[in-house]
Structure 1
Amino acid sequence: MSGQIVRVGGRSVVLDQAKQWIRQYFDAEANRAAAVAAKGRPYAFPVYDRMETGSGPNELNDGDLLAPVLLNVTPKLHAVLNLQAVRPALEAVLEAIPPGLTLRDAVASGVHAEPLRRIGGLLDGPAPLRGVGGTILMKIMHRKRPLFLPLYDTQVYACYCGSGDQYPIKKSPQRTWAQFFQLLGDAVARDLDEQPDPWKTLMGCAPDDVSELRVLDVVAWNLGSGTGAHTTEPLSS
């Protein structure tokens, strides 16, 4: 077991190291202790994952729109105003995704593409959402459908998009956000499908209410933050 590898896109890590990352990140008590320590650096669990905003499963209130702050991405004032303007469109996407539907099942049945395209399409329109990119949008939406919608940031991009053959998504400046999110969903589901045992092991290191996509994101965050990580998003952040 100690030599087993887990892969995220084009990057990989020894499973034992990934287990350590997961245990550390999802240690709620350690994170609370770090929050009061002089030089403590707590991780976002459980504050981001269990944040109570009072909204329903298909609703995004103003508290939901500020959730990226808890993952160290702060929407500025103009971003929040633009997010409020597209809130009905985002809520319509949520209504179209059953809360219990996993990304893997959605990919297997071919129903994943349309919701991901609709989310990305909001960033591709003739009037761009100033201050809003894929990172902010997916950090908001993931909380509402943690089984279906993957998190996204520059670290995830570094894992999945590159010039080498090992990367499932090739760099393309012409690619739209709608196209990219569909490709990302395909690639994430494939990683989970092709490595059932490592991901089952990593899920066993996290609390029961944490999704596979959240666990994968923590591994991707660590891998993508490593030396040589590509930290440019496909479009504006």
Structure 2
Amino acid sequence: MRLAMGTREVFDAESLLEEYLGPRKRGLRYAYPYYDGLTTNGDSDLLCTGDLLAPCLLGVQVDVDRMHTLTALTPLLQRGLDKLPPGIELIEADEITLDLVAALYDPLDDPDVSDRDVKGSLIAKVLHRKRPALVPLFDSKVRIFYQHERCIPPSPRDGRSWREYMQLLVRAMQYDLKENADEFHRLSALVPRNGPPLTPLRILDIVVWMSSAV
């Protein structure tokens, strides 16, 4: 499987996914099924305080100060979430929708927002569960994986806004989903029937993250 717009090759994606989804011993467990199956308010359109704690299941500390910041950002994040069309997957999203996903991160570039102790990766871990087929997960491993002159070039000398970065990332991931559609369809069959379902976008994140972790 070639990912990152053809610049990276991943060998045996099936084994990587099976390792992430399979049962593991204490201290060695991955986030599935707990992050993906976490029930908060049961509303895919409305953020609640329980959603702000979901990143803890992906190994991100949400202490009192971060909870304070996320709570203050929630109205802005909700406004961005409200603009996303329901039922759209990243693979089929048009240019307008891709830009709306990127715009979710505008609060991180707003000079009037105080307490900047959260990053885009944390926001993604909050929002992904509301639109798991459209809003991608990412962290430092995913950023490094996609960094390439023919995919997402290194940040220019004068920096790059969160929206500008996400505009590049969502298009690179959309390209990967389209180019490997049959493979992701096959991988989706590996998700346990008694567990929460996973979208192709979530499977892409797992494969990228696991290939970068080895």
**Correspondent of 2:166 among 181, 196, 206:** 181
Task: Say if 2:54 is the partner of 1:62.
Answer: no
Name the structure 2 match of 1:235.
none
Q: Which runs of 4+ in 1 moved over 3 A?
A: none
- Look up the SS of the partner of 1:86 in the other structure: helix
Name the structure 1 match of 2:147.
161
**Correspondent of 1:139 among 98, 118, 125:** 125
Flag the 1:182–1:129 CA change in 2: closer, same or farther, 3 A. Answer: farther
Name the structure 1 match of 2:109.
124
- Look up the SS of the partner of 1:191 in the other structure: helix
Structure 1 unaligned runs (5+)? 227-237
Name the structure 2 match of 1:110.
95
Task: Say if 2:207 is the partner of 1:219.
Answer: yes
Structure 2 unaligned runs (5+)? none
Structure with the greater relative contact order (CA < 8 A, sep ≥ 6): 1 or 2? 2
TM-score normalised according to structure 2 size: 0.88
Deviations 1:115-169 (A, max 9, x none): 223222111110355211011000110010001000010111011113xx4x400
- Look up the SS of the partner of 1:79 in the other structure: helix
Deviations 1:149-205 (A, max 9, x none): 00010111011113xx4x400001411101111110000000111122222222222
2:209, 2:130 → 1: CA distance?
A: 20
Flag the 1:7–1:117 CA change in 2: closer, same or farther, 3 A. Answer: closer
Equivalent position amino acid for 2:202 in 1:
R
**Correspondent of 1:210 among 179, 186, 198:** 198
| RMSD value, Cα | 1.8
1:169, 1:99 → 2: CA distance?
A: 27
Task: Say if 2:15 is the partner of 1:20.
Answer: yes
Flag the 1:48–1:182 CA change in 2: closer, same or farther, 3 A. Answer: same
- Look up the SS of the partner of 1:45 in the other structure: coil
The aligned length equals: 207
Deviation, 1:55, is: 4.8
1:113, 1:197 → 2: CA distance?
A: 22
